[in-house]
Amino acid sequence: MQRIPVQNPDGTPAMPTKSSRAQKWVAQGRATWVKTNLRIKAVRLKAEPSGRNTQPIVVGVDPGKLYSGIAVQSAQATLFQSHLELPYPRVRERMDHRRMLRRSRRSRRINRELPFQLRNHRQKRFNNRRKKKVAPSIRANRDLEFRVVQELSQLFPIATIGYEKVRADVDLTSGRKGAKSGKGFSPVMVGQAYAIEKMEQIAPVYTRYGWQQDGNGTAQLRSTLGLKKSQDKAEQIPQTHAVDGIALACGYFIGYRPFHRKRSHGYLWFGEVKLTSAPFVVIKRPPISRRQLHLMVPRKKGLRRKYGGTVTRHGFRKGDLVRAEMAGRVSVGYVSGDTTRQVSVSEFTWKRIGQFSAAKVELLYRATGILVSCPQRLSVSGAFNPAA
């Protein structure tokens, strides 16, 4: 039975409950449905519960360069699964474009007929070669993961967070991956300390390596739990990245540990965890351009129109989830633009569905800075009990 989040009257998270029980509470007037930014069902109690004791709930984060997986797990049930489309390619493209425009503006300012020493070069204001900052594209990836975990912390009483660390080891003499030289590089490695520091604002963080061979690595945990992984990393299914998040979270409840007895010693699996059906969503940032004074390239007669921003002329914001009607056909999508009398509505992929009259567009969810696909209830059912 699927579990859904429960909030106390003051909005703090309580232990999740079965969907049937939550529906009964709402019917009896003991709770109300609440909207969540992750678009999963949740209820809020009207009266103070008899107690606020909670059981451990763990979030597993499998970071990547283009895609990440996040899952929420308790000892008794899988509570949430997600596939994140990271903004790395788009942010990097925009940074390249910004660099090109900045250089073109500076070049136009220089009088090249003067000697080099007399040209109007801007003097450096600081030592910009120290490179101590996280690259904007990497920071955007880690910030999106943090945003999702932050939203989950408002729905579930998170006890700890499991985070997969990456280490790309390459033997410089042979170029072979896996040799422990410590000289390798992967974009996912960059910003790991930044991400862990951010996550620790929510809950304590423990880390795992995917390649660990002591039984506690992500791959071995996933294999032990009987979870299969898809090799197509772009496929939007739990078997792509969410299963790694589940494995990381389950690592809190089970482990491969040494034992010592009077006449024997070795390693055994300890702990117990149960995998169940849970909502699965795909999350990404809306591809909205930041507000600019005008387009970079002018039209005829030197006119330039405004460009970017999230405000429309009809009270909607870009990224709002709306219900729109045209010629008896009803569509649900996200506001992506507007004209004088119409509102542009797009799919989750940001492909435009159509332009609808503003009077026939109804707001469902206000924009939150993330796009969430309609949740699916997908099962990864199973149980791990070494004593069975």
Taking the C-alpha atoms of residue 186 and residue 244, their distance in angstroms, rounded to an integer, is 19
Clarify whether residues 375 and 359 are in a common domain: no
Which tokens in the block code for residue 210? Answer: 């995917």
Stretch 261-283: mean pLDDT = 84
Classify residue 165 as exposed, middle or buried by CB count within 10 Å of its CB (0-12, 13-18, 19+): middle
Residues 258 and 361 sit within 8 Å (Cβ to Cβ): no
Clarify whether residues 222 and 352 are in a common domain: no
For residue 77, pLDDT beyond 70: yes
Between 121 and 353, name the one with better pLDDT: 353
For residue 180, pLDDT beyond 90: no
Q: Looking at residue 172, what is its pLDDT?
A: 44
Clarify whether residues 137 and 221 are in a common domain: yes
Identify the weakest region by mean pLDDT among 71-80, 173-182, 347-356.
Answer: 173-182
E strand segments, the chain:
3-7, 13-18, 31-34, 42-45, 57-62, 67-74, 78-85, 158-165, 205-209, 254-260, 265-271, 273-284, 321-326, 329-338, 342-346, 352-357, 361-365, 371-372, 376-384
Clarify whether residues 214 and 277 are in a common domain: yes
Look up the CATH number of the domain holding residue 320: 2.30.30
**Domain for residue 6, yes or no?**
no
Q: Kindly indicate the confidence band of residue 219, based on its pLDDT and cuts at 50, 70 and 90.
A: confident
**Domain for residue 110, yes or no?**
no
Clarify whether residues 344 and 378 are in a common domain: no
Q: Looking at residue 377, what is its pLDDT?
A: 54
Q: Kindly indicate the confidence band of residue 30, based on its pLDDT and cuts at 50, 70 and 90.
A: very high
Cα separations in angstroms, 179 against 167, 174, 175, 190:
11, 9, 9, 20
Clarify whether residues 379 and 352 are in a common domain: no
Clarify whether residues 376 and 253 are in a common domain: yes
CA dihedral 95, 99, 101, 102 (to 10 degrees): 130
Stretch 333-355: mean pLDDT = 93
Stretch 86-94: mean pLDDT = 93
Q: Phi first, then psi: give them for residue 49, nearest 5 degrees.
A: -70, 165
**Domain for residue 142, yes or no?**
yes
Q: Phi first, then psi: give them for residue 158, nearest 5 degrees.
A: -75, 125
Clarify whether residues 194 and 308 are in a common domain: no
Q: Kindly indicate the confidence band of residue 330, based on its pLDDT and cuts at 50, 70 and 90.
A: very high
Domain count of the chain? 2
Q: Looking at residue 98, what is its pLDDT?
A: 86
Look up the CATH number of the domain holding residue 151: 3.30.420.10
**Domain for residue 346, yes or no?**
yes
Between 355 and 97, name the one with better pLDDT: 355
pLDDT more than 70, % of the chain: 87
Taking the C-alpha atoms of residue 380 and residue 278, their distance in angstroms, rounded to an integer, is 8
Residues 211 and 58 sit within 8 Å (Cβ to Cβ): no
- Determine if the pTM surpasses 0.95: no
Clarify whether residues 72 and 155 are in a common domain: yes
**pLDDT, mean over the chain:** 85
Clarify whether residues 191 and 152 are in a common domain: yes
* Residue 336 Cα to chain centre, angstroms: 21
Taking the C-alpha atoms of residue 57 and residue 16, their distance in angstroms, rounded to an integer, is 10
Between 1 and 388, name the one with better pLDDT: 1
**Domain for residue 255, yes or no?**
yes
Domain range spanning residue 169?
A: 55-88+133-285+371-384
Clarify whether residues 244 and 184 are in a common domain: yes
**Domain for residue 250, yes or no?**
yes
Stretch 121-149: mean pLDDT = 83
Taking the C-alpha atoms of residue 74 and residue 62, their distance in angstroms, rounded to an integer, is 17
**Domain for residue 19, yes or no?**
no
**Domain for residue 150, yes or no?**
yes
Clarify whether residues 169 and 213 are in a common domain: yes
Between 388 and 259, name the one with better pLDDT: 259
